[in-house]
Chain A
């Protein structure tokens, strides 16, 4: 690494007085360490840093703060002009009212059920498919993989109407399978899994085969245990996507007791007071924020694994 903060002897006395700490540089970027640690470089750096932190907090955290405190205000206070920054008399009433009015318990349970089912089913389908394409290498395997990847080129909104018509034809309206089957037809999951399976050394699998393991046994005892990282990434993304999905559940789950939380909120948001809407939004937002807190590193890793192909 590049040494920074080396200082001439003359400057040392001043340093003990004010001790301007050199800015640590782990790796070289556009601005060179010397520029960064010059007098003006340091000033500009701290100015930019503070500006970025303030802007980001205002832009991305403050709206969430406004949502949470909005839910804690009374209907009168939330409509008041100018608005109060801190609720005058914070109450959790709106959360309970929203819970009852929207029937959020049912909506959340539905959403969790669809998301977990979509996860289990698409993992089972996509892992076996990727394993077959990567390790068993059937005839026309590349054609099938190509056709699966080609579906990534088709924008989801474009295919929405015929997909809906197909679901209606099969009688899967208001049926969880109407969401699970389409979720499993995910070319991107198969692509990620296959690419990872391709990197598993042949010797590992051949050793298991010599011990008399069949293909299913090899998948279960050799391939899956070494594939934990990619399975984690694909799992999180499948669950998050299913939880956030809006348009397909909007069309498929039309019974009010079968709706997802997103669809349920969209249907009732106009009919209740603003603080109750905010209460509902906070409750709908919390599960994914918790998932993000727990799996932050995996999500960030998956994001880049998914974007940089080839």
Chain B
């Protein structure tokens, strides 16, 4: 009787959460699967179409480009958003002055709503009076077309994205660096290791877990890039900045073809599950 009562109370406490998760997290996952095999515009009743949505999504003229752009964006964002914060954290950890100020300042853009950062940079990228071209002009360098040229548009998106997101990565690395035992550095120094050898043989092995976790988290996060192309370029010029998530949004809300959007979402999920699985494995290995 005690067990039954305890379970009933427990489920009483759980029921609100179970409702929210069932309807707004677990069911949408199932719904994605169902949706990808249906043709639906949310007005007429849905019809089953088998693999047609997947075919239509793959045959879309922007499909290949969207994946290429997303991978390219992710690689560039990793270069700027993964490696740079680690170096910045290494330097910050060595500094004894102005630590609070530097930590505060680097995290400031993270607190801004993304739309503020994106619209601010849209103004900076303005080919005429935009700040960036004015600075180039001041340095006697030729102006760039930034968002208007297919050769610079993608990197322009990466710049905004890095500016507004690198604060959290930097602080997470900084926390990991501060957990390294000083004795390890002393021992390495006694063994005659120089500064770069200390980084290679002490710092990096000691922060391996967090480095791997952040790598996977950042891949998954950047592969979903949406707001930057949505607000800054609309996917242009000539599809140079269409991302998979943006193409999915277009399928659903420009073409009113939710099934096709669902199919593309399934493909993106499959691609990202690989990284999620790697992440799970590495954390398990590290614990063992």
* Chain A residues close to B by CB (< 8 Å): 23-32, 45, 48-49, 52-53, 56-57, 59-61, 63-64, 66-67, 70, 78-83, 124-126, 128-129, 131-133, 136-139, 141, 144, 147-148, 151, 153-166, 168, 170, 181-182, 184-185, 187, 190, 215, 219, 240, 243-244, 246-247, 251, 261-263, 265-266, 269, 274, 277-278, 281, 284-285, 288-289, 291-292, 296, 299-300, 303-304, 307-310
Interface flag for B108 (CB, 8 Å): yes
CA distance A64 to B268 in the complex (A): 35
Contact B42 A300, beta carbon cutoff 8 Å: no
Contact B185 A161, beta carbon cutoff 8 Å: no
Partner of A138, one of B11, B105, B107, B109: B11
Name the residue on A nearest B262 (C-beta). Answer: A161
CA distance A61 to B186 in the complex (A): 37
CA distance A184 to B105 in the complex (A): 31
Q: CB-CB < 8 A to A274: which residues of B?
A: 123
Q: For chain A, what secondary structure do more than half of its interface residues adopt (helix, strand, loop), or is it mixed?
A: helix
- Indicate whether A162 sits within 8 Å of B21 (C-beta atoms), given known contacts A129-B13, A247-B227: no
Contact count A vs B, C-beta below 8 Å: 285
Interface flag for B78 (CB, 8 Å): no
Contact A32 B185, beta carbon cutoff 8 Å: yes
CA distance A285 to B116 in the complex (A): 7
Contact B20 A181, beta carbon cutoff 8 Å: yes
- Indicate whether A185 sits within 8 Å of B283 (C-beta atoms), given known contacts A57-B105, A166-B28, A285-B112: no
The 9 tightest CB contacts between A and B, nearest first, are A28-B182, A129-B17, A138-B10, A132-B13, A136-B10, A162-B31, A157-B224, A162-B28, A304-B175
Name the residue on B nearest A261 (C-beta). Answer: B113
- Indicate whether A30 sits within 8 Å of B198 (C-beta atoms), given known contacts A52-B95, A166-B31, A246-B114: yes
Q: CB-CB < 8 A to B287: which residues of A?
A: 310
Contact B24 A181, beta carbon cutoff 8 Å: yes
Shortest distance between the CB of B3 and any CB in chain A (Å): 8
Show 5 residue pairs from A and B whose CB-CB distance is below 8 angstroms, ordered by the A residue: A128-B16, A132-B14, A136-B13, A247-B227, A266-B115
Shortest distance between the CB of A127 and any CB in chain B (Å): 9
Shortest distance between the CB of A218 and any CB in chain B (Å): 11
Contact B113 A262, beta carbon cutoff 8 Å: yes
Q: For chain B, what secondary structure do more than half of its interface residues adopt (helix, strand, loop), or is it mixed?
A: helix
Contact A30 B115, beta carbon cutoff 8 Å: no
Q: CB-CB < 8 A to A300: which residues of B?
A: 103, 107, 171
Give the size of the chain B interface in residues (CB under 8 angstroms): 103
Interface string of B109-143 (1 = CB under 8 A from A): 10111111001110110001101001001100000
Partner of B35, one of A141, A162, A185, A277: A162
- Indicate whether A165 sits within 8 Å of B35 (C-beta atoms), given known contacts A48-B95, A60-B105, A181-B23: yes
- Indicate whether A128 sits within 8 Å of B189 (C-beta atoms), given known contacts A277-B123, A292-B107: no
Contact B114 A262, beta carbon cutoff 8 Å: yes
Contact A128 B17, beta carbon cutoff 8 Å: yes
Shortest distance between the CB of A226 and any CB in chain B (Å): 18
Interface flag for B239 (CB, 8 Å): no
Partner of B21, one of A52, A185, A265: A185
* Chain B residues close to A by CB (< 8 Å): 6-7, 9-11, 13-14, 16-18, 20-21, 23-29, 31-32, 35, 40, 42, 90-98, 101-109, 111-116, 119-121, 123-124, 128-129, 131, 134, 137-138, 163, 168, 171-172, 175-178, 182, 185-186, 189, 195, 198-199, 202-203, 210, 213-214, 220-221, 223-224, 226-227, 231, 245, 248-249, 252-253, 258, 261-262, 265-266, 268-269, 272-273, 276, 283, 287
Contact A304 B172, beta carbon cutoff 8 Å: yes
Q: CB-CB < 8 A to B202: which residues of A?
A: 30
Contact A147 B6, beta carbon cutoff 8 Å: no
Shortest distance between the CB of A163 and any CB in chain B (Å): 5
Contact A182 B31, beta carbon cutoff 8 Å: no
Contact A49 B9, beta carbon cutoff 8 Å: no
CA distance A218 to B57 in the complex (A): 54
Contact A151 B26, beta carbon cutoff 8 Å: yes
Shortest distance between the CB of A104 and any CB in chain B (Å): 13
Shortest distance between the CB of A200 and any CB in chain B (Å): 16
Contact B13 A165, beta carbon cutoff 8 Å: no
Contact B224 A158, beta carbon cutoff 8 Å: yes
Contact A296 B104, beta carbon cutoff 8 Å: yes
Q: CB-CB < 8 A to A310: which residues of B?
A: 283, 287
Q: CB-CB < 8 A to A153: which residues of B?
A: 273, 276
